[in-house]
Copies of this chain bind each other. A is one copy, B any other.
Amino acid sequence: MTPARAIGYINDRPVSKQMSTTPEPRTRQRRKETRPQELLDAALELFVEKGFAATRTEEVARRAGVSKGTLYLYYPSKEELFKAVVRQKLSNLIAEGQDLVGNFDGDTSSLLRSLMQIWWDRFGATPAAGIHKVVIAEVRNFPELAQFYSDEVIVPADRLFSSAVQRGIDRGEFRELPVHEVAHALMAPMIFMALHRHSFGACPVHGMAMEPTSLLRTQLDLVLRGLERPNP
């Protein structure tokens, strides 16, 4: 629908605008280069805090220091904004992990320890993990997002961890187990932690406090020991 706005006569008054004494109109700044990043950062914060549907575009704009309309100069819709956030904050992580696995020299236990550490530092401990929470929560209401996120994040991440486990089996370090399922046993506690940090962890709740690093170390020790081939 192309509404007829600003035909000065349509609604009785000539619509002379923002000329008067509006309180301190935001000074117009031209910053085409830095705007997208500022918007992405603001969007990440708010999507993580409130979820996709409950985040208002106007607030994203305000938090980025621009007006409502400016957001739409850079991203054509809220959905595209969200996708841009995913791409910037998550997609790049996968590549790094793949480099690590491809080039690693030592034994696979060490590889997995490194991988888990990187993954936590770059994903679990950052707002990026909050995006995962949002997707889990709202993907059923936005079917297009499902395919996008699956292709862009879930499948590559699964492939990454599985390939590391497979390396251990191929080199005779690990027992022969279903690699995808082992990959899950590795990833799940970390994701669990990450989700927690962005839901209950962000609320002033008097309950369990979890110390991520210690928890992850324990969990990895457990699984690595479980993976080891029994001594003959």
Contact = CB atoms under 8 A, between A and B. Distances in A.
B208 A2 contact: no
A146 B208 contact: no
Interface string A40-56: 00000000011111101
Nearest to A6: B78
Given A150-B207, A207-B155, A214-B181, A199 B136 contact: yes
A137 interface: yes
Contacts of A178: 214, 218
Contact of A51 (B4, B192, B210): B4
A226 interface: yes
Contacts of A227: 222
B147 A206 contact: yes
A185 interface: yes
A100 B14 CA distance: 43
B199 A150 contact: no
Contacts of A181: 214-215, 218-219
B188 A54 contact: no
Contacts of A180: 208, 210, 215
Provide the main secondary structure of the chain A interface. helix
A132 B154 CA distance: 20
Contacts of A208: 150, 154-155, 158, 180
A137 B210 CA distance: 18
Given A3-B1, A135-B199, A54 B10 contact: yes
Given A4-B140, A4-B141, A158-B208, 9 more contacts: A1-B79, A2-B54, A8-B79, A147-B207, A180-B208, A181-B214, A185-B189, A185-B223, A222-B226
23 contacts: A3-B54, A3-B142, A4-B51, A7-B142, A11-B56, A51-B138, A136-B136, A136-B196, A136-B200, A137-B137, A140-B199, A146-B205, A147-B206, A150-B208, A154-B208, A180-B210, A181-B214, A181-B218, A184-B189, A184-B192, A184-B193, A188-B193, A195-B195
